[in-house]
Structure 1
Amino acid sequence: MANDAGDADRYGVLRSKRNATRYQILVEIAERQPAVNQQEIADAIGITAQAVSDYLQDLVEQGYVDKHGRGRYEVTKEGVDWLISQTDELRTFVRHVSEDVIGQVEIETAIATTDVSEGETVTLTMRDGALRAMAGDTGSATAVAVTDAAAGEDVGIANFEGVVEYDLGDVTIVSIPQVQNGGSSVVDADRIAEMAAAHDLTAVAGAEALAAASAADLDPDVRFGSAAAVQEAAAKGLDVLLLSATDALSTHTDRLRDQNVSYEVVDAAEE
């Protein structure tokens, strides 16, 4: 067992399943000693009682556990020392995962509005539905650039502080009747065009909606996956005009409601 402990690297007891099980059993014994119920330990760590018995015999032979009679065990000083060493290894590994691995994962991407150098503090804003990064610490939300970027390029950012302040977008929904109820032919195309001009994006859902957009001389920004796209665009501060066939309407309104996005349904029928 001493050899197993000596082989542990930064992964400690995670290096071998056997060492991991020994570690768990020693912890359970330390918590329950001196009266140790092998079945309780087996249930606690998910192995058989016979396996616990085999591990206990090995731990006694290695000098990490003393046996004082049937069902009575105690972790020795050597066993405690091994537990401490392995716990320190685990603590180091957890710190590595938390700071180096997970920390690296928490890198976002922004669009640089000025030239930015790696390691430089940047101010974050939301504009046109995209996160923007400007060199300097001048706003309510900041981060640190982890890549170099020229203005207009994408830049990696981490170590966020503060909150990016911006208003959620609004969604205006025009319900387009299904074709058997007149479809796009009963919609006021001029009004649709006026509404589109007042919004950042236009989305369509359904063939009737696409025909209504065409009648208004519009080239929709979103045609596919519109429920998710409309919700995300509004969440990033864009105002969206959604032309939706009536049979697709509830799919969109349900998603917007679930995500607390403001919307209204309007009538664009010809008078």
Structure 2
Amino acid sequence: MADADGENSPDVLENKRSATRYQILVEIAARQPAVSQNEIADTIGVTSQAVSDYVRDLVESGYVEKRGRGRYEVTKEGVDWLISRTDDLETYLERVNSDVLGSVEVDAAIALDDVDEGIEVGIVMRDGILHANPAGGTATAVTVTSGKKGEAVGVADFEGVVDYDAGTVSVLPVPTVTDADRPNSDVVSTRVPEEGLVAVAGTEAYALVSQSDVAPDIRFGTAEGVTEAGMLGLDVLLVAVTDEIPRHTSKLRDQNVPHRVLDSDAF
């Protein structure tokens, strides 16, 4: 059987009989040596009589050996047959995922103006969010849904590279509650990025930010949230208790997000 691109599909997908034979041999291998044909029938959705017929065929083919009433084992030939068919399936699925599903991947973007379905738009990054710009951009996509300005629309068939720089994460260390040194809350308000986010990690950090009358944008899942924000081009002030900082900076390094730990002596 050939697919739309002329590539041959795996043998187990040629017809229902081939697929059922494969499924039953997998179930026998998983349950051996005590094999309940009724359980296999319920699992794969065929009759018990059909399972019995397939098991008999597998025994005659040398893929399964019967060792007594209700006791079966997959032979070396059966294992080899399973491995070869499974390898074919994996190769086929990899091609489907990359060539077929990858080509129809749909993402969401905020419309910068009213857009109709099926038009080419520019894809730009603003405030860490993809936007669909009818006026164009360094990257383009095709809308798969229509929408008014400010609404989310579906976009696919991406081409080019979205032009934006990663943001910078500034880490403001906060001593633990047992430390005698306590920074003044002014250090927070003077370091809030002009167009960015404020994140807090740890109770002491939250208390300090609250005293500064700054509303934190990120309070939970900060390591993931701060890293993603930086990757999407946002500047972030991370106010973190000292023992929380290594976990955050490690994730930032892993994702190559520019970051700096502010000198606490200057507070």
| TM-score under structure 1 length normalisation | 0.65
Distance 1:96 1:244 in 2: 41
How much identity, in percent, do the aligned residues show?
Answer: 39
Q: Is the aligned partner of 1:165 residue 2:163?
A: yes
Which one-letter code corresponds to 1:112 in the other structure? Answer: A
Q: Using the TM superposition, give the Cα deviation of residue 12 of structure 1 relative to its aligned residue in structure 2, in angstroms.
A: 4.7
Alpha carbons of structure 1 residues 14 and 135: separation in structure 2 relative to 1, 3 Å: farther
Q: Using the TM superposition, give the Cα deviation of residue 190 of structure 1 relative to its aligned residue in structure 2, in angstroms.
A: 1.7
More helix by share: 1
Partner residue in 2 for 1:258: 254
Distance 2:239 2:247 in 1: 13
Distance 1:116 1:268 in 2: 49
Which one-letter code corresponds to 2:175 in the other structure? Answer: P
Please say if residues 13 and 20 of structure 1, whose CA atoms lie closer than 8 Å, have aligned partners that are also in contact: no
Q: Using the TM superposition, give the Cα deviation of residue 150 of structure 1 relative to its aligned residue in structure 2, in angstroms.
A: 0.6
Q: Using the TM superposition, give the Cα deviation of residue 215 of structure 1 relative to its aligned residue in structure 2, in angstroms.
A: 2.0
| 3-state DSSP of counterpart to 2:192 | helix
Which one-letter code corresponds to 2:178 in the other structure? Answer: Q
Q: How does 1:1-271 map to 2 (within 5 A)?
A: 12-13=13-14, 15-17=16-18, 41-46=77-82, 98-99=99-100, 103-104=103-104, 106-136=105-135, 138-182=136-180, 186-198=182-194, 200-268=196-264
Q: Using the TM superposition, give the Cα deviation of residue 46 of structure 1 relative to its aligned residue in structure 2, in angstroms.
A: 2.7
Distance 2:224 2:180 in 1: 27
| 3-state DSSP of counterpart to 2:125 | strand
| TM-score under structure 2 length normalisation | 0.66
Count of residue pairs the alignment pairs up: 200
Name the stretch that deviates more: 214-223 or 157-166.
214-223
Alpha carbons of structure 1 residues 98 and 175: separation in structure 2 relative to 1, 3 Å: same
Segments of 4+ moved more than 6 angstroms: 37-40, 94-97
Alpha carbons of structure 1 residues 15 and 173: separation in structure 2 relative to 1, 3 Å: same
Distance 2:98 2:200 in 1: 44
Alpha carbons of structure 1 residues 196 and 97: separation in structure 2 relative to 1, 3 Å: closer
**Alpha-carbon RMSD:** 3.2
Q: Using the TM superposition, give the Cα deviation of residue 222 of structure 1 relative to its aligned residue in structure 2, in angstroms.
A: 0.6
Distance 1:235 1:172 in 2: 14
| 3-state DSSP of counterpart to 1:114 | coil
